[in-house]
Amino acid sequence: MDYQPPLEDWAFLLDHLVDLGALARLPAFAKQDLSTETARAVFAEAGRVAAEVLAPLNGVGDRLGARLEGDRVVLPEGFAAAWRALAEGGWTGISLPVEAGGLGLPELFNTVVAEFWNGANMAFALNPMLSLGAAGAILAHGTAAQIEAWVPAIARGEMSGTMNLTEPEAGSDLGPIRTRAEPAGDHFRIRGQKIFITWGEHELARNIVHLVLARLPDAPPGSRGLSLFLVPKFLPDGRRNDLRCLALECKLGLHASPTCQMSYGERDGAVGWLLGEANRGLACMFTMMNEARLKVGIQGLGVAERARQASIAYARSRQQGGVAIARHPDVVRMLLTQRALVEAMRAVAGVEAVVLDRARHGEDPDLQARVDLLIPVIKGWFTELAQEVASLAIQIHGGAGYVEETGVAQLWRDVRVAAIYEGTNGIQAADLVRRKLGRDDGVAMARLLAEIAGDCQRPPQGAAACAAALAATATVQGALTRALVEALGRDPEDALLGSFDYLMATGYLLGGWQMLRAWRAAQGEAPFAQAKRATARFYLEHLLPRARAHQEAAGRWQGRVDWTRLACGD
């Protein structure tokens, strides 16, 4: 099953929907050439690496997987060479500052590359994703000495990074964490165990820096008493630190990504250094967590694109009833659904990546509120759609999709975890409603809805009815937002019961907005432009109604039944 990077789609977004000029005007990128030509060249090279280096390892990685031999994690042949290729190309430091050894490119470039890496090989792509996130946390909260010691090495691919949160009794609720850190001069001794640590042990990079949540001796109870520590596999003097991988999890998918049970301090205690302030570890970790949540959404986009490509190839070649099944009505429905969902996700990802950079570099304080609002939507909506697109790929392949030979079953198995890790999609929904709407009474959402409504006033030719439907959906979203804000003050549980539907409605609304903009931009009679307009029409006529269904469902939770007792069978 081949993978081809969607370069033409990204070229369309660069030309019409994504404001690349806004990035070029930011002082942070004054020394970068952010022309469309440069962007296309970078994307093309990233796509080549994805298709030629990473994609061929996807199937073999799934079949052979990672295995633990003593204290070593052994990976399938080719993975080490692939890591070297990324490091030599500078991709391991793509979004890190130039002064810290990175390429200093905007988040938009990182987003595109992340889609390609994950479309090619999601299991492999988790390593550079988490490493960039760890470097970002060190940049945000580390001392000058810590930044100098760790970040350039990550940028060069000599070191990778992980996040260590979860323990057997501390999953989404991190308050019960028992890993402890004891002062020992200019460092700390870390003792405890962590589980579900992605790429916690490997030999692709020469060293691994673990970001470990632990509790100081005098820390207050609960999550308020957590601190964050830098704990490397090898100490600066070359000695092996007192940490090791106890076991690898046997998972549904992502077999080539070692998910480790980690032990710290079985002998003298693992040496670690405090990152940020004592007892502020969770706030520091959320710098990495928010970056990871965005990139998990992009994982969903990447895998969905590959599933779509596999579906098209199979539907064109498979004959049933004397014709290719691509002409069968139900297969047409499924292929169009895949295409429209993937294109909507990609457009949202590109547009909001620019907003993220503008917010990060201080252009407008209101933009950070929009970024915070949409992080849970991108993580949650994208990964829900990715499961649907991958499942449709299995359905299009029929019985061949249900066996492993075609590779589409692997795509569904791999992407299934994306709705779970970095905070389940239910947690994303609760965060969207309780924290993001609750902290400003829905003001950031109201601004976004006003922008959508403004675009609906300028429908492209032939799209008046679709634009009116989108505007009506935005109006209902505004009323639902106000109702949920009110419910938060009256009965938060009622508001949270509707939060997942609210998140999904927000996602479909954002997708509809960008598809309307794509329709307007796709002028002319070239086949590509015609396909863009047809895909936008399909989305707005056939998929946007899902937003209205979710909106109606979100509003029907209000205080009628003891839903919790009913759900538990009481």
Q: Which residues are catalytic?
A: 422
Tokens of 368: 């950070």
Using a 10 angstrom Cβ sphere, with 0-12 exposed, 13-18 middle and 19 or more buried, the burial of residue 490 is exposed
**Could you give the CA distance from residue 46 to residue 116 in angstroms, rounded to a whole number?**
7
Which of 264, 206, 265, 271 lies closest to 235, judged by CA? 271
Closest by Cα among 161, 162, 158 to 87: 158
Interior CA angle at 86 toward 85 and 87, to 5°? 90
For the record, the structure tokens of 149 come out as 């010691």
Contacts of 158 (CB under 8 A, 6+ apart): 87, 205, 206, 207
Pairwise CA distance, residues 51 & 258, whole Å:
23
Instruction: Look up residue 87 and give its two tokens.
Output: 């490091």
CA 501 – CA 507 distance, rounded (Å): 10
User: Which of 87, 84, 108, 107 minimizes the C-alpha distance to 96?
Assistant: 107
Q: Which CA distances in Å does 123 have to 374, 400, 466?
A: 25, 23, 39
Alpha helix positions (H), 142-257: 144-155
What CA–CA distance (Å, rounded) separates 361 from 365? 10
Instruction: Identify the CA nearest to 177 among candidates 137, 227, 133, 141.
Output: 227
For residues 171 and 423, the answer to whether their CB atoms sit within 8 Å is: no
Helix and strand element counts for the chain (H, E): 21, 12
Terminal-residue alpha carbon distance, the chain:
48
What span, in angstroms and rounded, lies between the C-alpha atoms of 328 and 332? 6
Picking from 190, 364, 372, 400, the residue whose alpha carbon sits closest to that of residue 294 is 372
